[in-house]
Structure 1
Amino acid sequence: MKIVGGFYREISLVPEIDQMFGSGGRAAAILSEITNDVTLHTYTENDSDIAKFEKRYAIKVKKYRRDDAISFSYFHPLSTPHISKSENFQSSIKVSGEVVLRFGLIEGDAVVDANRVVFDPQTWKQKAIYSINGSKANNLVIVLNELELAHSTSANSLIAQAQELLELNKAEAIVVKRGVKGCFVLEKNGSEYSIPSYLSNKVTKIGTGDVFSTIFAFYWGVKKKRPSHAAELASKHVACFCESGGVDLDYQKIDKLIPINFESFQPVTIFADQAGLGKRYILEEAKYLLLQFGITAQVEDSLDNLPNYKNPILILGETFRNLITIENQLKKNKSKIVVFDASCDDWFMGNSTPENITLVQDFTSAIYQIAWASAQ
């Protein structure tokens, strides 16, 4: 299987991450665990970095020259990254083969001619039209997120947008990645499928979309699974990736994963001390991210009323420091409660954590946990 995609540096401030992957690199690393036939086509300005990567994952790499390094810098994994890149656009990479996974690239483009192709555009700034650059495929699936789909079509509903893009590309299927909501699959015979996301105790967010597209491409392209089946397997592998925090997935957990099936979200109540810029920033960021999922949140800065709330509750524990008071109030409430605090080890010391309470040390994981808790 051939992959054409970016090899980029990824940096996060909280939690601290500094790694060389990018969509192409991550896809190649993931596939190296399940198949011996992997070739990555990518741009690089540094033979040393790509040589280390090639040796570590025992894959073949076809290198194409670019001017400068490219990096994605995040404050936290759900924040919008700052992208450091050259403005120069490199000559297109040309790839042919039986099965190709084509990712969109920042520093250039890829012209692909293959039998079975999965195209993940990786951007909403251009329409997701596979053949617009001269690429060809006998069998094509477009995998993209909701924002990319909306900017590629004129329709208003998810199903109508997918149908329009399917016809524009003459594709076998359109697969729409929907984050916490799982994914939507439209096949050319008109069949529609809603695939759930799967629960994980932690969420390693950077690269989840890459993992989905990679696993989908393998099972649809190489193993000839139906698009709906390949999408379900991809969703499960994403949960394993979220849990492991890296490309070394625990495949034994796949059959034990719990699907998150729901029609809508309940409102969420956030308890947080709002005094000071830092505390207010965490609160506003949590509200904004939940709203992106379609979840409304009301805010309380006093714990006195906590026992009375029935909706799911997010406690921004780092903004409160009187743990004994919080714990006493928490024990009076039987709703689903997620507590975010990097010092979770200090909570319920000497006592077991109540079953309705989830303690989370990572901000991204806390947002996903409360989103899943609000699903109904």
Structure 2
Amino acid sequence: MAVPPDCDSIDCAFQVPFVHRLRFTNDVLGADRDVLADLLEQSGEKPARVQFWLDEHILKAQPDIRERLTALVETYPERLQLAGNVQIVPGGEAVKNDIHIVERMLKVFNAHDLDRRSYVVVVGGGAVLDAVGFAAAIAHRGIRLVRLPTTVLAQDDSGVGVKNSVNLFDKKNWVGTFAVPWGVVNDAALLTTLPDRDFRCGFSEAVKVSLLKSPQVFDDLCRLAPRIAERDMQAAMPIIKASAKMHLDHITKGGDPFEALEARPLDFGHWSAHKLEVLSNFELRHGEAVAIGVAVDCVYSSLQHGLPEEDARRVLQCLDALGLSLDHPALHEPVDLFAGLEEFRQHLGGRLTVTMLRGIGDAIDVHEIDEVAMCEAIATVAEFVQSPGEEVVSRG
């Protein structure tokens, strides 16, 4: 359509510079405390004002952590100032399923006069990072956020992400923002009290990103999976670090950090995972749902898009060796499950775009899902769970 002669039309592309600060430490609240303190930069000559938000799960596992956080600020009195008491929030999806918790966060920010150069330091699992991060992103249009992830899932994936959100209308992450965190500290000591279930399921995201980005890391994961399942940290930490770096590289170098394009490849396996969480009433952890979703989409990729059957089988075996269950009753509710495809499309907008694999390290975008073939993939994964040693990836 032609522009009328008396109208002006100006399109001006521009870029906003961001810095993503990722640190790896062994004891951030002890011997490595300087690493966190150095992230909390002063504004002029005044001390940086810091407010801590703590996941109740980590408080129960490490009862002295509240005092250790306070002591960290008190160690640097000329540089840091505590803005109120350490705040406690529910852990897991509970913090994301009640939007009134976000309102409480905003009230606390306001009561302590936090501003754009104050710091909200959130210590917890991925759901708590999401919810507190969302509140920080909308207060004053953005308070500086520093994340201290306390789960494998948050350290190897979501903690380095640029998304914040809570759930609404029985839909995952329906309310949220894109906001680059001021800093992220992946600390090994914060993982020590993590329950085995949560430790293991965090590696599903490492499997996912290695399938997309690095055949070598995937090979390492397959080799190290039994040791990781036994919490051998010498095996686990290099994988956590490699996964975090691959996620970070995709965000900072992939050209689409705020998902303005059609595809969101880092959500490989997630169209079903997000729906499975809801259908299971969040009985499934996010990492457990992702393991199932990745397994199903790998088998589907072998049926429809040329992923070698041997590679699909290796994925199932790797996830199994990590101690992850690959089946759940909610997976066998096809009408409800496939509704997740439309929710996935709506979340991004435009036409349906789902990432699949032609090979390990060779991702493609597809715009249609053959529901018959997907049901076959689901059945194949379920058969594998019953007989993991058998060769089950086939068209039947």
The two structures have a TM-score, normalised by structure 1, of 0.28
Task: Tell me which protein shows more strand as a share of its residues.
Answer: 1
Task: Tell me which protein shows more helix as a share of its residues.
Answer: 2
The two structures have a TM-score, normalised by structure 2, of 0.27
